[in-house]
Structure 1
């Protein structure tokens, strides 16, 4: 979730809002440290801290703070078992931060920065007024740093999204189903096809439709760590794309829709054209988790999306030393 974009939208719509953040977790909890949601005066909200009684009580507390006023930044501690009757049994520290239209300009600035990428801020929480956030230099902001830390009155936060980039080649039935399945999963998606008319009129905001007559030319310009899924209407086109992809060694995932027979033929063509065995092993074909056998487009899409989530989570775990931060 783009936190400041939601804060800005809430201020424009309602004039006030509360940013709720999980500051700390001891034991089990529905969501991780750094999870956030934005609450409006009518109790509508964006994001989630895990649902259940915790979220219910936090929503009511946020609305109450907007009605009663008080310090702009406050914290509350919730024992999930004794206080709320939730089976998680942990303890969660929640931060409540109130905003009104006086903060709109700052929220606009932060929203713009979110669109560019990850950034970090620091603020002193000891005063009763709105927090004065200071943006840290880029060199001090890392994608694997904690999303939020409160230490002796100093609040350090990380905002923005480091979304993996998926290049989806093919806008047929399965491509359309995969686009919808992937939309909420935290990927930036470039959706490529040579048939301009085949794209839907409307797509989610994290998906960009690209019309190219020779889509394989894109592959050489991909960034290291990008994901590639190939499912065009032309087997020759499929091969040209995956051939270009496996000749690189820095992509996160290369998947090709097809059967075991298609895989065997593709690997033979790789060998005949000088692709090494190590390069060939990068190809995942058939793509998708093996437990799902259905050939329905929607089921294939879920299978592929699940496989990509597994790869993404492994990468996050490796980058963050095994600790997962919320998105």
Structure 2
């Protein structure tokens, strides 16, 4: 998201930009499909396509293109096997192909459309070819769709927008800390509470959406699916149990509950008495978070964020 905001700022200042995008990667390449980097006419740089000498070389090339006022669209293959043809200078054994796209003030409306899409929690498709750079509201089936026939004949499509949504049920201090970390990691953050005028919820500037609801209706506010993550951390045991009971038989990629082992043991006993099975409860991450002996609010948030990232990356 931030890279698009930086690009928009430079284009509004009438400064041209090259955006470098990894459109293919093989093996141990440091850059992965979708990695992006911008190089602006005034020397401003943001993002990464893998780092190292390879990235430095391509950035210098983009700088020279801007200096020469060249408005090129092309791709370059980088082979990370030392001093060979198309070699990047790196020795990590992978390969990656990077697309160069020149953008100027005429592309500003497309960049604004991307930002509007992301800000509103929606998705669209960014399309590159050797002749074009475009964004539309159509959706591709997979996150990436591409084909490289030759260096002069290729296309790349990428689904733009938040790919995962984290629902934090409980707008207290831990919820704020988790919101901050996972928002920075690219999640769309929805914080839900049942308390009106809750200071920590009102002042949570990291959440994209904040809701005050009746927890009995929680399942009406949380989407099912493989991109749905849930962290339950309300201010009392009865609400934790209520929310979990409403969501336990729904389909989500991740669900976890904050609390002590003693509290959760009691909760499990009550839920089993209410008809839930051990198999159903085994899908719940409780206590939520990786066991790193976290003590402070921030440490708890780190343990939760790490566990959620582990689950997210297990899909890939």
Normalization by structure 1: what TM-score?
0.81
Contact 1:14–1:40, Cα closer than 8 Å, also in 2: no
Q: How far, CA to CA, are the matches of 1:8 and 1:256 in structure 2?
A: 40
Corresponding position of 1:142: 141
Q: 1:43 to 1:28 in 2, by over 3 A?
A: farther
* 1:162 Cα deviation from its structure 2 partner: 4.3
Per-residue deviation, 1:2: 7.0
Check 1:105–1:162 CA distance in 2 against 1; reply closer, same or farther (3 A cut).
closer
CA contact (8 A) 1:20 1:38 kept: yes
1:174 counterpart residue number: 174
1:213-228 residue pairs with structure 2 within 5 A?
214-225=214-225, 226-228=228-230
The Cα shift of 1:303 comes to 0.9
Give the distance between the partners of 1:59 and 1:102, measured in 2 at CA: 23
Change (3 A) 1:183 1:162: closer
| Structure 2 counterpart of 1:243, from 242, 245, 250 | 245
State how far apart, in whole Å, the 2-side matches of 1:303 and 1:134 are. Answer: 36
Q: How does 1:162-201 map to 2 (within 5 A)?
A: 162-193=162-193, 194=195, 195-199=197-201, 201=203
Q: How does 1:274-289 map to 2 (within 5 A)?
A: 274-289=275-290
Distance in 1 (CA, whole Å) between partners of 2:182 and 2:135 is 34
2:48 maps to 48
* 1:325 equivalent in structure 2: none
Give the aligned length: 304
Post-superposition shift, 1:275?
2.1
Unaligned runs of 5+ in 2: none
- Preserved contact between residue 230 and residue 256 of structure 1 (Cα < 8 Å): yes
Residue 288 of structure 1 deviates from its aligned partner by 0.9
Structure 2 match to 1:311: 311
Partner of residue 271, structure 2: 270
Match of 1:252 in 2: 253
Corresponding residue for residue 66 of structure 1: 66
Q: Deviations over 1:192-215 (max 9, x none)?
A: 2325222363623x6323233x34
Correspondence for 1:321: none
Q: 1:160 to 1:3 in 2, by over 3 A?
A: farther
Q: Give the Cα–Cα distance (whole angstroms) in 2 for the partners of residues 211 and 166 of structure 1.
A: 16
**Cα deviation, residue 85, structure 1:** 4.2
TM-score relative to the length of structure 2? 0.84
* Deviation string, structure 1 residues 65-84 (Cα, Å, up to 9, x no partner): 11112352133343443355
Instruction: Give the Cα–Cα distance (whole angstroms) in 2 for the partners of residues 184 and 110 of structure 1.
Output: 18
Relative distance call for 1:160 and 1:137 in structure 2 (3 A) is closer
Q: Is 1:35 the equivalent of 2:39? A: no
Task: Note the alpha carbon deviations across 1:146-199, whole angstroms, 9 max, x for none.
Answer: 3x4333413232241242111102233322221222121221111123252223
Task: Let me know the Cα RMSD of the aligned residues.
Answer: 2.7
The CA deviation string for residues 85-136 of structure 1, in whole angstroms up to 9 with x for no partner, is 434243433221111222333444455455530325363x2x6xxx264859
Matching residue of 2:127? 121
Match of 1:323 in 2: none
By relative contact order (CA 8 Å, sep 6+), the higher-ranking structure is 1
Other-structure match for 1:151: 149
CA contact (8 A) 2:8 2:111 kept: yes
